[in-house]
Amino acid sequence: MLVTVIGLGLIGGSLALELKKRLGYTVHGIDANVANAQKALALGIIDKIVDFNQIADSDVVVLAVPVNFLPDLAINVLDTVKKDTIVFDMGSTKEKLSKTVENHEKRTNFVAVHPIAGTEHSGPEAAIYHLFDDKVNIICDKELSSEVAVTKVLDIFNALNMRTIFMNSAEHDKHIAYVSHLSHISSFMLGKTVLEKEKNEKNIFDMAGSGFESTVRLAKSSPNMWTPIFIENKENILSSLNEYIDNLTAFKNLIIEEDKKGLQQTMLETNHIKEVLTGIQK
Amino acid sequence: MLVTVIGLGLIGGSLALELKKRLGYTVHGIDANVANAQKALALGIIDKIVDFNQIADSDVVVLAVPVNFLPDLAINVLDTVKKDTIVFDMGSTKEKLSKTVENHEKRTNFVAVHPIAGTEHSGPEAAIYHLFDDKVNIICDKELSSEVAVTKVLDIFNALNMRTIFMNSAEHDKHIAYVSHLSHISSFMLGKTVLEKEKNEKNIFDMAGSGFESTVRLAKSSPNMWTPIFIENKENILSSLNEYIDNLTAFKNLIIEEDKKGLQQTMLETNHIKEVLTGIQK
């Protein structure tokens, strides 16, 4: 099985490693950044660096580049590969990509995939073996892909011990704006606010154990990856961000009014997130 | 050495456990909630449940109740204990407490302490052995305490492998508003926003691995503990919250304008938090 992975960062690199090490596939790698490709080769994440014009014979092509490059890349790859090559992306936004490939003659070769896994680190050196294990994988618009393609993708992600769920692209982008993209913005702005105020960084370091360290973790994430996500999923993110700012403002007003009952009640209701995250439904 | 711990939740319970198990002290416990006191006894966190009128002979009295109860409790305890009993609190806000005990005749017996350690859980069953190890401890206004009292407190927290730093109460409350209290509010409101939007909680559970789980962790925290903190440290928290909302609004505008350069630059600058948290100063 010959797989070409385009984009050898945290996600593409981690998948390449799994395909090679766990599944025994031959993995070719492409990265616009030559140094990244060489690092991936040196780290044993891929078997060989190839050019775009060498992808035609791959059984599977994986697109793991920032989401702004995905639509054009998907079209170019589908134009280039052989008739039965399976192509899937791993991006965090789906609607625009989905519309772009909609009428391509090889649309059924394509599967829109989003494995919910990652860390705040980036680049091939951030690739982790077992990154995907026991996490959730999302396949979007599966009815637009061939059964063969979906089955192959499921085989791969099942082998990585992921649990795959299905939804359409529009639903995916809406939910992920709230549950993932908003978390990143809240964390980035928390980091910014604290950095602006605390000119003496020693104070931040000393007090980081008080909850800050975990809430600000995502502020270490890659701007190259996140800038295009925020633009691509603009409408959903703006809705979530407006609601978040409204909630913060309402909470601020409770503090101004010293409304103990209101503060208590708001936090108590939000504590329900405990049960949600342990999978217990009310 | 006889120590009485008043308030047997996460923090008081964890400290009681350390004093008993690691330092071999005799630990008496008091909790307004009888069930909590009994749990602490059953869990072996304390040696004995006592009444407030039995605290007089303690060598050390620890105040580990929610911050709204601290000022009155501190006065009552200082009124009651013998001449050389050392009293310290473990609260997350200090200015009001500091003003309340300022003119007490036993002021020098008192030490204002804030160990930067905790989890999102609460109650005696949340008490953890080794909770404080390798964390930072803050002593406020040490010049207002006797040397004997400060030395004793340092002995205890050094034995727990904490690194103690010193600052005054006003500074403490300002810094902790930004680095800790704001994190809790951002996390609570993130949880609220997502819970309000995602009526199907399965989606939250399935997508929580995408950054949400860590940023929302603090939204599991105890409303009984946090309501009084937000009121006590109102002014500092409102400053931090206003700046946070301003930053979120500015970031929202960058998204509306699709200002890639501005988004990229803002996130890149905030990435500096990486170096700060690993203790590397620019």
For residue A199, give the chain B residue with the closest CA: B175
Tell me what ipTM this predicted complex has: 0.92
CB contact under 8 A, B218 and A214: yes
Better pLDDT: B282 or A181: A181
Nearest to A68 by CA among A214, A250, A227, A247: A227
Q: Which residues of B touch A69 (CB under 8 A)?
A: none
Averaged pLDDT, A220-230: 95
For residue B274, list its beta bridge partners. Answer: none
Q: Give the DSSP H/E element, type plus range, for residue A94.
A: none
What pLDDT shows up at residue A200? Answer: 87
Buried b (16+ CB within 10 A) or exposed e, A225-263: bbbbbbbbbeebbeebbebbbebbeebbebbeeebeebb
CB atoms < 10 A from the CB of B69, how many?
15
Residues of chain B with pLDDT under 70: 280-282
CB contact under 8 A, A271 and B220: yes
What pLDDT shows up at residue A85? Answer: 98
- pLDDT tens digits along A159-168: 999 999 999 9
Nearest to B195 by CA among A279, A276, A167, A281: A276
- Residue B102's identity, in one-letter code, is E
CB contact under 8 A, A227 and B264: yes
What pLDDT shows up at residue B42? Answer: 97
Of B184, B190, B238, the CB nearest to A244: B190
- Considering chain B, what percentage of its residues have pLDDT values greater than 90? 92
Would you tell me which residues 88-127 of chain A have a C-beta closer than 8 angstroms to some C-beta of chain B? 92, 116-118
Check whether A80 has a pLDDT greater than 60: yes
For residue A140, list its beta bridge partners. Answer: A112, A167
Averaged pLDDT, A3-26: 97
Mean per-residue pLDDT over chain A, rounded:
95
CB contact under 8 A, A215 and B260: no
What pLDDT shows up at residue A280? Answer: 56
CB atoms < 10 A from the CB of B186, how many?
31
* Structural domains of chain A, with CATH: 2-167 (3.40.50.720), 172-277 (1.10.3660.10)
How many angstroms separate the Cα of A106 from the Cα of each of A7, A78, A125, B10, B156?
22, 6, 34, 59, 70
What pLDDT shows up at residue A165? Answer: 97
- Give the closest-approach CA distance of A80 to chain B in angstroms: 30
Q: Decide if B202 touches A, using CB distance below 8 A.
A: yes
What pLDDT shows up at residue B282? Answer: 42
For residue B266, give the chain A residue with the closest CA: A192
Q: How confident is the model at residue A282 (pLDDT cuts 50, 70, 90)?
A: very low
- In what side-by-side order are the strands of the sheet with B2-6? B48-49, B26-30, B2-6, B60-63, B86-89, B110-115, B136-140, B163-167
Longest dimension (CA), chain A: 67
Of B136, B270, B274, the CB nearest to A207: B136
